[in-house]
Amino acid sequence: MKAGLWSSSLNRWLIVVTVVAVVERLALLAIYQPVAYSDTASYRRLAASVLRGFTRYDGTRTPGYPAFLALVGADKRVWLVQMLLGLITTLLLFYIGWKLTCLPRH
């Protein structure tokens, strides 16, 4: 197979994957809003503790997600950043699949 055709096929599939992933996230943005669950308050409390330099951090949760919440801020922004991270994950999985199989689709 010629390199030009290979690149063209890869680019087409990359565009398809990206468009589908973006459309899915735009649909979610239109029909779904962030929701608070029973443990949301404890994550927010720990995020506030992270912002205070881990003072009075009680260790009820691992600090990763509370630190993420502290860094990002409001629930709506957390949700949007999570959707962006999901898009990046989709593209990374596409790249890994391509590198492992040498095929843009499989």
CB 77 within 8 A of CB 15: no
Compute the C-alpha angle 64/65/71, nearest 5°. Answer: 95
Distance of alpha carbon 56 from alpha carbon 19, whole angstroms: 45
| C-beta separation of 88 from 70 below 8 A | no
- Residue 104: its pLDDT value, please? 66
**In terms of Cα–Cα distance, which of 17, 22, 26 is closest to 94?**
17
The count of C-alpha atoms lying within 13 angstroms of the C-alpha of 33, restricted to the half-sphere facing its C-beta, is: 2
- From CA 2, how far away is CA 26, in angstroms rounded? 36
User: What is the overall mean pLDDT for the chain?
Assistant: 89
pLDDT of res. 106: 56
The pLDDT value recorded for residue 1 is 43
pLDDT 10s digits, 1-36: 445 545 788 889 999 999 999 999 999 999 998 888
Q: State phi, psi for 59 to the nearest 5 degrees.
A: 75, 20
Q: What is the pTM (predicted TM-score) of this model?
A: 0.81
